[in-house]
Amino acid sequence: MLLELKNVVAGYLRGVNVLRGVNLHVKRGELVCLIGPNGAGKSTVLRAISGLLKPSQGEIIFDGDNIAGLRPDLILRRGIAQVPQGHSSFPAMTVHENLLMGAYSVSDRAERRRSLEQVYEMFGMLAERREAKAGNLSGGQQKVLEIGRALMINPRLMLFDEPSLGLAPKMAQMVFQTIKQLQNEAGITVLMVEQNAKSGLAISDRAYVLELGRDRLEGPAQALLNDPKVAQLYLGGTTLDSDEQSDDVPAVAEVEA
Q: Which is nearer to Mg ion, 12 or 104 (CB)?
A: 12
Cα gap 204→43, rounded to integer Å: 18
* Phi, psi of 133, deg, nearest 5: -70, 135
Q: Whole-number minimum distance, CB 183 to ligand ATP, in Å?
A: 22
Q: Where are the alpha helices (DSSP H) in 4-69?
A: 42-50
Q: Is there a contact between 201 and 35 (Cβ–Cβ < 8 Å)?
A: yes
Q: Which is nearer to ligand ATP, 188 or 209 (CB)?
A: 209
Q: Is 242 in the site for ligand ATP (CB under 6 A)?
A: no
* Phi, psi of 195, deg, nearest 5: -80, -35
Q: What angle do CA 244, 176, 144 make, to 5 degrees?
A: 170
Task: Kindly indicate which of the ranges 27-35, 37-45, 133-141, 200-208 contains the residues binding Mg ion, using the contact rule CB under 5 A.
Answer: 37-45
31-50 residues in contact with ligand ATP (CB under 6 A) are 36, 38-44
Classify 104 in phi/psi space as left (phi over 0), alpha (psi -120 to 50) or beta: alpha
Task: Kindly indicate which of the ranges 36-44, 88-96, 205-213, 214-222 contains the residues binding Mg ion, using the contact rule CB under 5 A.
Answer: 36-44
Q: What is the pairing mode between strands 189-193 and 57-62?
A: unpaired
Site size for Mg ion, by CB under 5 A?
A: 2
Q: Which is nearer to ligand ATP, 87 or 130 (CB)?
A: 87
Judged by beta carbon distances under 5 to 8 A according to partner kind, the member of Mg ion, ligand ATP, none in contact with residue 40 is ligand ATP
Q: Is 44 in the site for Mg ion (CB under 5 A)?
A: no
N-to-C CA span, the chain: 24
Judged by beta carbon distances under 5 to 8 A according to partner kind, the member of ligand ATP, Mg ion, none in contact with residue 226 is none
Q: Is 12 in the site for ligand ATP (CB under 6 A)?
A: yes
Q: Which is nearer to ligand ATP, 10 or 103 (CB)?
A: 10
